[in-house]
Structure 1
Amino acid sequence: MMLGGAGMLLAASPAQAADTSYRTECIPPAISGLPPVEGTTVVQLTAPAEAKVGDTVEVVWKTVEAASKNPDVLDLDKDTVKPTGTIKVGGAATGTLQMEGPRQNPPIPKNSAMVLPDMKGTLKLEKAGEITLTPDAYNINVSKPISTDTKCSPKETVKTGATIKVTAGGGSTTGGTTSGATAGGTTSGSTGGSTTAGGTTSGSTTSGSTTAGGTTSGSGGGQTDFPGKEVAVHFTCTSPGPADISSKVTINAKKSGGSYALTVKTAKGVMDSPAALPAGALKPSMDIVIKGADKGSVKVTGPANAEPLEQGKPVDLSDMTGTYKPGASGKSTLSPGTLTIDVTLGASKINIPCKVKGSVTPSLELDTTAQQGGASGSTTSGSTGTTGSSAGGTDSGGGLAATGAGGTGTLRALGLVAGTAILLGGAVFTFTPWRRLRGTR
């Protein structure tokens, strides 16, 4: 038995249709902030009751009831929903039949039943006998505001949905299995994180100059460049962010008058993109912690991603820049602090702070002279808009950087309520934490 993409479709006897109900778990895109949900899926399979060997028959999957409603957060636009699914083939033949529906749906308001278009697949019959068709897993893709997938799978043994009695004909009686795929029968959107390249942190932050140990003598010899050392940092993030991010971070400084232009570099592939995101959607920033003679912090930022990001693919954070104006004289250390990930789509924002876990070795030590209005004991926004050109965008790939948004309360609320769902678009059944967006470097 083969999946047929061509040839005449036959219905040698009246088609049969029956409802099949089964308990289902749906897992939405990995960037959402709520857990999976279980519900009941009701499917009606339509297929010929009888056919002959050599016939190519059409099977139709009608979703009578989806496992969950559209959440009470986001209205889904007309013609944005596309389902794909799998039917298990048993009896005289074994294998799977890939099903696909058009991107066709009426507008689906918040907190209303999901309306999915019918899925179809074609099956070429190559062996006489009784063939059973059983609905299995299915996927819901929503194209706006970004392309996302919700994956649904049975949580119990599913009853047969249709049976085809195949009688001997002029065709071959050999075979007995289905092929694995039809054109477009599956969708992308796998977010399992297995696509990350485990060893991509090699040398991606700074060049060999970072071995200088990060200690400088800012008062002598007219020195202007102060390279920091590469230090390992482990971040833990607030929901709906990734559980953790690990990266190497380097803080470099260039003296200009009494102030220092900072450039902060992270490892390549520090995390996976949570979804397919357009250019300019994802931006990081970081608080640089100052200790020693001077105290406080400076926020460094950079440009947004210049190119769209693919779901599940490693993301490089571009260089983040800012200005440090010392508030005290003496030796002060600079260390990586909270990393903030901002995802913005239109008016909707998700703000995810990732705090340093454990102790961190300082990346840079400077011998400073106090400047009026310096950082001592305060938090300053180091990104003034004039320093960003000095280093932003030197890493290719993701080209990500920061917004400098410091107020996490309001934006996080947006992320957990409205922003999360707007981002998801396709989290049409429920939401799940951003567990798979993780750093492995």
Structure 2
Amino acid sequence: MLGGAGMLLAAGPARAADISYQTKCIPPAISGLPPVQGTTVVQLTAPAEAEVGDTVEVVWKTVQGASKNPDILDLDKDTVKPTGTIKVGGAATGTLTMEGPRQNPPIPKGSDMVLPDMKGTLKLEKAGEITLTPDGYNINVSKPLPTDTKCTPEETVRPGATIKVTEAGSGTTTGGTSSGTSSGTSSGTSSGTSSGTSSGSTSGTSGGSAAAGGTATGGSAGSTGTGGADGGGTTSGSGGGGGQTDFPGKKVAVQFACTSPGPAAISSEVTIDARKNGGSYALTVKTAKGVMDSPAALPAGALKPSMDVVVGGADKGSVKVTGPANTEPLEQGKPVDLADMTGTYKPGASGRATLAPGTLTIDVTLGTSKISIPCTTKGTVTPSLQLDTTAQEGGVSGSTGAGSSGAAGSTGTTAGSGGSGGGLAATGAEDHGTLRALGLVAGTAVLLGGAVFTFTPWRRLRGLN
């Protein structure tokens, strides 16, 4: 037995047989290619035995990837970097984040993918047998354009290794396992309090119990707002009377699926604030920092965001908000902060209206070439703000904005009162003219990225060269 610096190797490493499972891989949206079905073969290595309190190393060896490198592009040396997750089960639950170096031999087109081993460290906090099961993984390729291929299991995967954890001396511990960005199981309740009432009223309060945190809605004048949460935040701040002018919204998590050649998906928190101006409201919409990676090296003024804010509740329709273009040049593959977007909401109906994030559009302009990338919301979107409105002549009631995600409470892609849900749809390149335009922006004729692992011939993309 060799122990030191929190690392334990006892009775030699435990290496189970190779684990094979059917896998679905989503190529980068820029390729326009469909998902790939293939078989992943993984070998996990971990200590056979360890003690509570030890930190152990787990190694993921990809014996076989889901598919080969396409017959179109050679991958240079040290351009491929894998990351993945392992499910921790048995005596503890959680996930273990795995990461490999950007290290690979040159990979000719049409040949097998060669992925470096991924490693992760696991802190053992409870006695018993712990199982390690390979889960999804991601392949990042840095050249000629940074791209990601995300692969997820299509069937139940059996454990790839087991660690027998024994007590260390007389000490006892509780809880699960965790490492890096992973965490063990947890439980509890939380409550939230928010205000947003008009002058002279008490603030709305809720003590909702939820796994993701209780939230609340502010009540209207003279009332008390109550509410819980179902897997996520709800809205805050109702108003429109008593002289109140500023109505801050709550941050809500939103999943966007984008049309090629944009990113396959964007996950962001969105906040909608309002300031009353007469009978109308000046809206300011903010997204999280680093909401997406720049598709190419872009000059100042090339990228501009806009959004359709979905109006629901007593009012119906959408409001267009726009933001200024980037003021500084953007580096290829680096995170992009979208500017705050502004617009005016003129109510078309009296009552309590909700405002929720809708379709986000990213416009990229270079010279006379312009690309518009719409990113539609997925699942049910929680409103960020509620307002007590009074109908104004020429208000939005009854109107619909192009590409909006629907009114609160409707079906499909909607803005409602629940938490966010649903996965991200796979997207394809239905518009080759748009891909060609992005080729001008990126300054290269080959923007496919070696991370697209597919058996599908790329003949239909060769016309872009």
TM-score, with length taken from structure 2: 0.46
Question: Which structure has the higher relative contact order (CA within 8 Å, separation 6+)?
Answer: 1
Rg comparison, structure with higher value: 1
TM-score, with length taken from structure 1: 0.49
